[in-house]
Structure 1
Amino acid sequence: MSKKNIAILTILIAIILDQVIKIYVKTNFVLGEEVEVFSWFKIHFVENNGMAMGFEFGGKGGKLFLTLFRIVAVGAIIYWLAGNIKRKVHNAVIIGISLIFSGAVGNIIDSIFYGVIFDSSEHKVATLFADKPYGELFHGKVVDMFYFPIWSGNLPEWIPFVGGDLFTFFQYIFNPADSYITIGVAILFIFSKQAFPKEDKKSEKKITETSSEI
């Protein structure tokens, strides 16, 4: 299989899977509803207006800025991916960049369209293509659902500032798109010699920082 086809297949599978899971959760769960799969893994439906892992970002204006930033970043990632395909780099690098691209696009879809195709999930299950959607174009909420409370307990008293506080690892709730970005960055780190030749070391730092913002 050509490297271009590997990229296309990775992107299609990743984005479709991301959206299928999000739409299923959105149309079958009430906001805040939780299903325990294992004691350390739960499906917990939340929505956020901001960045990955549920971080918020500056209200309505910040939300629009973040969405536009993601769109610009996606354009840069496409250029980066195309350049690596031409260089015929290791397939793992192509997959890593494709996953980062897929994660960005997956959350962009939520941000742009979900506000105008879904109604609210508060106190009821949302309807797809609702007559009275909850938001407007470019101001949709990102759907998150994966929760891994692997360990929960009080931190040792000797830890500065947070000693004695209740702490949960891993406390953030995220979605498939978020995990794609994390996995993609990890792959590029493992295959950094192939992804970032010596002459591109400055680009390595810049791209990694950009990916973490998506």
Structure 2
Amino acid sequence: MRTPDGPALGAFLRRLLHFDKAAAVRLTGPPGGGLLAVFGRPPFEVLAIRTIRVDGLPEAGVDATVSAGELLESLGEDGGFAIPSALSVAAAWAGMLPPRGGWTAVASPGVDELRRAVAGGVREFRQRVESLPEQRRTREELDATAARVWDAQVGGAVDGLPLRVAHAASGMGFLPAPAEHAGEGAAVLRNGPWWRLRTEYGEVAYRRPVGAGLGLTVG
């Protein structure tokens, strides 16, 4: 198989492997189609998604969970790649993908707006940590502090979007620096408890736990 989106696929896989050297990805492509969706699980409790164009997709389609590292190793400079053997023990997250249809667009924020929200969250986290006595800066306390910050809402035009979604998009390279874009926008969609943030560089999907509070607003 070959993809004209080889550089984008390579960048996506390298980001996942930066967070987890044993990262897995789930690949899904419909029968007779020319698109392959690549799902990964970065450490933000979200799913990161990159859809690539593919020539030579099997007529029966593709649905497999494989090693991100092996997939990256197979990717050639010409965009050629091979789907590795499926993992004998699939990643637990791979069994719960976001719904394919039923999404409602709720906002179209600018990339800069989302980057500012993430920067605000980072400042909030640092301030909270710095205010903790040294003896309380345990892993459990830091994790709880991070959860409180990133479970907050982005606020503004995308009120309701969990900040962790924008944070993950930034970490995966889906929110480019201002010098790399000319004011591109993003799309925020919702389907029940699911949220989805889409830019031209990739997507992040997140299923909010039922009954979860919205927390603080970081603007």
In which range does the TM-score fall when normalised by the shorter chain?
Answer: 0.3 to 0.5
TM-score (norm 2): 0.33
More helix by share: 1
Q: Please state which structure has a larger fraction of its residues in strand.
A: 2
Relative contact order higher in (CA < 8 Å, ≥ 6 apart): 1
Structure 1 length-normalised TM: 0.33
